[in-house]
Structure 1
Amino acid sequence: MSSITLYSLDGCPFCEKVHDALDDADIAYETEWVEPLHSDRNEVKRVSGQRAVPVLVNENSGVMMAESDKIVQYVEQSLA
């Protein structure tokens, strides 16, 4: 089991951007697929305080972040 979890929505271009960055950096991660309706995204709200995706959680470092550009920058600078 990976220590990195990405909360993502199928078909979300911002989520795909993060998936691509993680894959390009050859980083192992788990994907938690969220529900299409914001009101049904209880798990991502529990971990991040919001219902928007993508959200990346790194259990090893205690990092939790949202917004695809910030996540990609974190992946490239801290994980790659």
Structure 2
Amino acid sequence: MAIRLYALDGCPYCETVHDALDDAGVEYETEWVEALHSKRDEVKRVSGQRGVPVLVDDERGVTMAESEKIVEYVERTLA
């Protein structure tokens, strides 16, 4: 899948991004991460930090964090 979202179950910021992707009709895969920051090695590998949400758009070569920026990217680029 070209779009991956790294997210934590129950995270309100992650839910905001999920909603934006769903509303825009974007197909994506969710990679659920561990609650402990120290266990988020995959997130750190792709984004350089351990916070979520993180969106990876392989097709456009984009990796980004912070829900507000991700929602803006979804609305401007993917919708």
TM-score of Structure 1 vs Structure 2, range by shorter chain: over 0.9
Q: Which runs of 5+ in 1 are unaligned?
A: none
SS at match of 2:73: helix
Residue 14 of structure 1 deviates from its aligned partner by: 0.2
Residue 29 of structure 1 deviates from its aligned partner by: 0.2
TM-score by length of 2: 0.99
List structure 1 segments (4+ residues) > 4 angstroms apart after TM superposition. none
RMSD: 0.3
TM-score by length of 1: 0.98
**Corresponding residue for 1:73?**
72
**Corresponding residue for 1:53?**
52
Matched residues in 2 for 1:19 and 1:76: separation? Answer: 12
Within 5 A, what are the aligned runs for 1:1-80? 2-80=1-79
Query: Structure 1, residues 33-64: CA drift from partner, whole Å, max 9, x if none?
Result: 00000000000000000000000000000000
Residue 9 of structure 1 deviates from its aligned partner by: 0.2
Q: Percent identity?
A: 72
The one-letter code of the counterpart of 1:73 is: E
The one-letter code of the counterpart of 1:71 is: I
Matched residues in 2 for 1:56 and 1:73: separation? Answer: 12
Matched residues in 2 for 1:73 and 1:17: separation? Answer: 11
Matched residues in 1 for 2:3 and 2:50: separation? Answer: 18
